[in-house]
Structure 1
Amino acid sequence: MPTTDVQAFEAHAPDAELDDLRARLAAARLPERETTSHRWAQGVPLADLAEVVAYWRDEYDWRAFEARLDRIGQFRTTIDGLGIHFLHRRSTRADATPLLLTHGWPGSIAEFVDVVDELAEPENGTAPAFHVVAPSLPGFGYSDKPATTGWGTEKIAAAWVELMGRLGYRRFAAHGGDWGGVITTILAGRFPAHVLGIHTTTAQAPPGSPTDGLTASERRWAEETRDFWRDRAAYAKQQATRPQTIGYSLVDSPVGLLAWILDKFAEWTDTADSPFEAVSRDRILDDVTLYWLTRTGASAARIYHESHDSLDPELRVDVPAAISVYPRDIEKCPRPLAQERFRRIVRWTEPETGGHFPSLEVPAFFVKDLQDGLAAVLAASR
């Protein structure tokens, strides 16, 4: 296949794969319950996990998710020898702007399926419309798994520019959170000739940025972010140093994969007790099942090995940027620190609700915030 080809793609897991998943769930060996009365203090509680496993085995409908992906439009192309999968939804609006959406870990393109249609064809005629492109990161979902090292965030950003060019989008806006936020930052800093501007929920200041003059609330944000990386980021250290080791469990055991991912949905969402207060079981299982069926638990974990703590401290973003800091996100960068890297912040918002997965937790608000943020970005880029 010529490397410039873009080909349509349809998702369809063999029935045998789904039967095998159900059989593995039925034969799962679970440990005893946690020994603490504080439910999530030791990780995913046994009762919660057992309930989700039963639902996944007996009621969850993967075919419905496959159909939703196909309705949006799926494609693949090869860039630098690696097959890249992506969703592509063109708007009917003549004034639509190309928009690149990049997910993170433990997310996937499943983060965006509920917001693509409204971004492409907004009900409010005065809201901006977008031609939406949402690629699967290398090693995630239906993208190929890199067979060698080198596919870090810098190379991914360059590949995204190539991808958008193949679709006829020489200049585009970009959004991302988590790893998608890092990649979006690199896109804006390295490729300003192609990036009109960005919206991100993951604004990272350069290391060592001065904290003098921060307000009490801004200082608390900085302290909470520091504490997260010091006390609650064992998953990142494991995947950065031993992705192959944890990968065996993630690829071989659906219950192990579910627990590993569900733990993050629980801790990183804006909820009092259970992630299902904010995100439905089906939406979380769409994401987990995509990892399972594509056998990408290990390959997705390797993005930490490639890129953990690797964002260039000297990188600066001079294109217009809109930044949203959700209250229960894991990294909350105060604006004075963010301005050290993002030098044209045209819109800064601090929503009242939401966590690390806003497109799943508060999809209607997320879409409006993204529309408003990118409207400000596009106005400033003219």
Structure 2
Amino acid sequence: MADRFSAIPSKAVGKPVPFTLSVPEEALNEFQILLKLSKIGPSTWWNQPGDGQFGLSREWLTRAQETWLAKFDWRDHEKRINAIPNFKIPLQDPELGQLDIHFAALFSKKPDAVPLMFLHGFPSSFMDFLPIMETLVGKYTPETLPYHVIAPSLPDYGLSVRTTRKAEMTVHRAARVMHQLMLDLGFGESGYVVQGGDLGSMLARTMAVEYEECKAFHVNMLVLNPGDSVSPSARPTAEEQEALDRTKRWQETGFAYALEHGTRPATVGLAMSSNPLALLAWIGEKLCEWVDPHSPLSLDTILATVSFYWFTDTFPNCLYHAELVKKVMAGSTLPISTEKPMGYSLFAHDLAILPRAWAEELYPNLKLFRFHAEGGHFASLEQPQSFLADVEEFIQLSRSLFSAPGALV
């Protein structure tokens, strides 16, 4: 059914080719052997079941290992991935060299369809956007879909790989590659909207500042940047203050992983890619903790995410958000546009939030703000309907920027 959305726009200047994900059977067998032989550490005072203040419990990891071995079916997730059109396209970057970029897409046949790019973060993948892409397939036909939906694997994440390693991946360079992808798909003349959370929000911000073709941006993670100040009258609501308090506690107790990523990415990359259980402990902690505790992600979803990281060797390569950690520690941040239309969806259980009064004071270009009491850091997985509704509303508010008839045919 989704194959109907696979027609590449005629103005594409690159050469995307259809892609089907199929992990070799040998890799699945090796995975099972490694997982079965992976040892779970001894019971300690810290890893008993509790409130998670010290990280994962030994009990959770034991149950997850047993489920991974006996009940989890990776092929089911492959089928879900391949039910959406997937592509790969070669890109050449002046600093990074040759890249093989993967993206899932729903291409519209509407002449005025708005190009929309979704950018994931860590520890996520393009799979985070499968629920909303599936919703769009059920809601629209290729003739009525108001958007061209592009959900790439970020450079050095998942299925987007480099054939050369001429330079370190950085946020600026990754943003340039994502921009080039949109140009190669033929969206340079019309322009595009970009949406992002976590690392994706940093890329979206960068693209909005750096590239004229990026007409508007929507994020679901936003913070008070170093040097920013707000007036005393700009007060958070009670719900927002509660979220700010949670954020402060997390910064005090849950930020250690980022310091390791930021200062020793080589060591942590090698350690976590040594066996599947190590990777599950490191990533699983985030997938358990960074969500709305009232509606956690299913264990199957967590295992699918970690399996994807394992089968694609993502983790050792994807740690270029270490650059962001260094910026945070140095008291600097990435730029953000105060001119181009901006949307912000605040999910109350996210790791970092910006209250509405602060956002409205700092960003005169804020066209949409939505507060959601439910949902956390992985909004497109946790609350896909609310997430998609916000993005669709934001695009509707920004549609005048894409009013040229026939621009995308």
TM-score > 0.5, shorter chain as reference: yes
Once the two structures are superposed, residues 162-220 of structure 1 have per-residue CA deviations (whole angstroms, 9 ceiling, x without a partner) of 111111112111111000011111111211x2122121101234312114313154566
Aligned residue for 1:33? Answer: 43
Whether the aligned pair in 2 keeps the contact of 1:157 and 1:187 (CA below 8 Å) is: yes
For 1:48, give the aligned amino acid: W
Aligned residue for 1:195? Answer: 214
Matched, 1:165 2:166: no
SS at match of 2:300: helix
CA distance in 1, matches of 2:183, 2:362: 26
Q: TM-score, normalised by structure 2?
A: 0.83
1:92: Cα distance to partner? Answer: 4.4
1:103: Cα distance to partner? Answer: 0.3
Aligned residue for 1:321? Answer: 342
Whether the aligned pair in 2 keeps the contact of 1:346 and 1:380 (CA below 8 Å) is: no
Structure 2, gaps ≥5 residues long:
1-12, 404-409
SS at match of 2:101: strand
CA distance in 2, matches of 1:330, 1:155: 25
SS at match of 2:316: helix
CA distance in 2, matches of 1:63, 1:37: 32
Q: Where do residues 297-308 of structure 1 align in structure 2 (5 Å cutoff)?
A: 297-300=315-318, 302-308=319-325
1:224: Cα distance to partner? Answer: 4.6
Aligned residue for 1:109? Answer: 126
Structure 2 CA distance for partners of 1:354 and 1:24, relative to 1, 3 Å: same
Structure 2 CA distance for partners of 1:313 and 1:298, relative to 1, 3 Å: closer
Q: Percent identity?
A: 27
Matched, 1:186 2:209: no
SS at match of 1:354: strand
Aligned residue for 1:258? Answer: 280
Structure 1, gaps ≥5 residues long:
none
Matched, 1:241 2:263: yes
Q: How many residues in Structure 1 have an aligned counterpart in Structure 2?
A: 373
CA distance in 1, matches of 2:401, 2:38: 54
For 1:137, give the aligned amino acid: L
SS at match of 1:114: helix
Aligned residue for 1:57? Answer: 69
The correspondence for 2:102, drawn from 85, 95, 113, is 85
CA distance in 2, matches of 1:303, 1:196: 26
1:90: Cα distance to partner? Answer: 1.1
1:360: Cα distance to partner? Answer: 1.0
1:132: Cα distance to partner? Answer: 0.9
The correspondence for 2:369, drawn from 336, 339, 348, is 348
Aligned CA-pair RMSD? 2.6
Displaced runs of 4 or more, over 6 A: none
Matched, 1:144 2:126: no
Aligned residue for 2:406? Answer: none
Structure 2 CA distance for partners of 1:4 and 1:109, relative to 1, 3 Å: same
For 1:269, give the aligned amino acid: V
CA distance in 2, matches of 1:246, 1:144: 20
For 2:222, give the aligned amino acid: A
CA distance in 1, matches of 2:360, 2:366: 7
For 2:108, give the aligned amino acid: S
